[in-house]
Amino acid sequence: MKKLLLHLDTDPVASAFDQAVAYDAGVDNVLSYGSITRDNVTPHVHGMIFTRGGKNLKNSAIFIGGSNVPASELVGRAVKKAFFGPVRVSVMLDPNGSNTTAASIARKVLTGYDITGKNVVILGAGPVGQRTAMYLLQEGAAQVTITSRSIERAKVITAQLKEAYGIEVIPGETRSDEAVNQLLKDAHVAIATGPAGVCVLPKSALDKSETLEVVADVNAVPPLGVEGIEVMDNNTEKNGIRFYGAIAIGNFKMKVHHGCVSSLYESNDQFLDETTIYDIACKIDTK
């Protein structure tokens, strides 16, 4: 029986990236729809759960994506509500690649590195930075700061993280290079999760910090997120600091994304979210 993936995207046009990855992960046919909301999703879900029955249901699955993370999470809740009893299919929630990317950053940083008691600064408070903060705190970091160019925005985001996940993340401000230097002065780990094509970590901050041990970046578009990093850096040591570039992290992210999509077809009752996607990433070799 063919493996079908219902691809629901909250953006007007469903992501080509998520479709391509699904095929590479072994899906036979991807049915993609854009402009999905919690109010229009139910008929799509019924289309999947009423066409195949019993043990054949595990050959159908749902992927929820989109650049608006809260909207995708609402769609995820509505999808769950449309199921009843055993009449359900497995679901993966990865809006904007945030869960798979953040899980990959965390696993790379933790490769051969004990983060217990360390001070982490995450430059960029979008979905990828927020999830990365959560994972590294769970893994034992003593403190994690997440930054915005506006301290007010950073405070709003850290308050949301406390409410949603019960975690204490410190808000930071990065309006100037001097502010970044100050934040990194006694940091052990720095992670650039700013937008594509923006350098958020200048070389002066790397030069001035005497404590940095690991630096990672997920921006693959020049100028890169960290001045002096290379996209292929993969546990590459320079001046006593280990670097992970965007392609090294991106390659591992592809493995995690493939692994998650493949696992959807093992049973019809999984819901892969930020927690379960991280669990899957932990089982994949980071090298």
Ligand X SMILES: NC(=O)c1ccc[n+]([C@@H]2O[C@H](COP(=O)([O-])OP(=O)(O)OC[C@H]3O[C@@H](n4cnc5c(N)ncnc54)[C@H](OP(=O)(O)O)[C@@H]3O)[C@@H](O)[C@H]2O)c1
State the residues that interact with ligand X by CB under 6 A. 96-97, 101, 124-129, 148-150, 153, 193-196, 198, 200, 218-220, 246, 249-250, 253
Please state the closest distance from residue 233 (CB atom) to ligand X, in A.
Answer: 13
Which residue number places its CB atom closest to ligand X? 126
Could you tell me whether strands 119-123 and 90-93 are parallel, antiparallel, or unpaired per DSSP bridges?
unpaired
Reduce the secondary structure of 73-91 to three states and give it as a string. HHHHHHHHHHCECCECCEE
Instruction: In angstroms, give the least distance from the CB of 130 to ligand X.
Output: 7
Give min distance, CB of 250 to ligand X, in A.
Answer: 4
Closest contact distance (angstroms) between CB of 50 and ligand X is 34
In whole angstroms, how close is the CB of 218 to ligand X at the nearest point? 4
Nearer to ligand X by Cβ, of 142 and 159: the residue is: 159
Q: Which CB, 14 or 57, lies closer to ligand X?
A: 14
Select 65 or 127, whichever has its Cβ closest to ligand X.
127
Shortest distance, position 261 Cβ to ligand X, whole Å: 15
Cβ atoms of 243 and 236 closer than 8 Å: yes
Handedness of CA 287, 131, 269, 14 (dihedral sign): negative
For ligand X, the closer CB: 147 or 263? 147
Edge-to-edge strand ranges of the sheet holding 4-9: 29-33, 4-9, 60-65, 90-93, 271-272
- CB-CB contact of 225 with 81 (8 Å): no
Residue whose CB is less far from ligand X, 76 or 97: 97
Report whether 10 contacts 36 (CB < 8 A): yes
Whichever of 82 and 261 has its CB closer to ligand X, that residue is: 261
Whole-angstrom CA distances from 126 to 24, 47, 67, 83, 247 are: 27, 33, 11, 31, 19
- Cα gap 165→157, rounded to integer Å: 12
Cis ω for the linkage preceding 222 (within 30 of 0):
no
Q: Which of 16, 27, 9 is nearest to 262 (CA)?
A: 27
Comparison of 125 and 205: residue with beta carbon closer to ligand X: 125
CB 41 within 8 A of CB 98: no
Give the shortest CB-260-to-ligand X separation in angstroms.
14
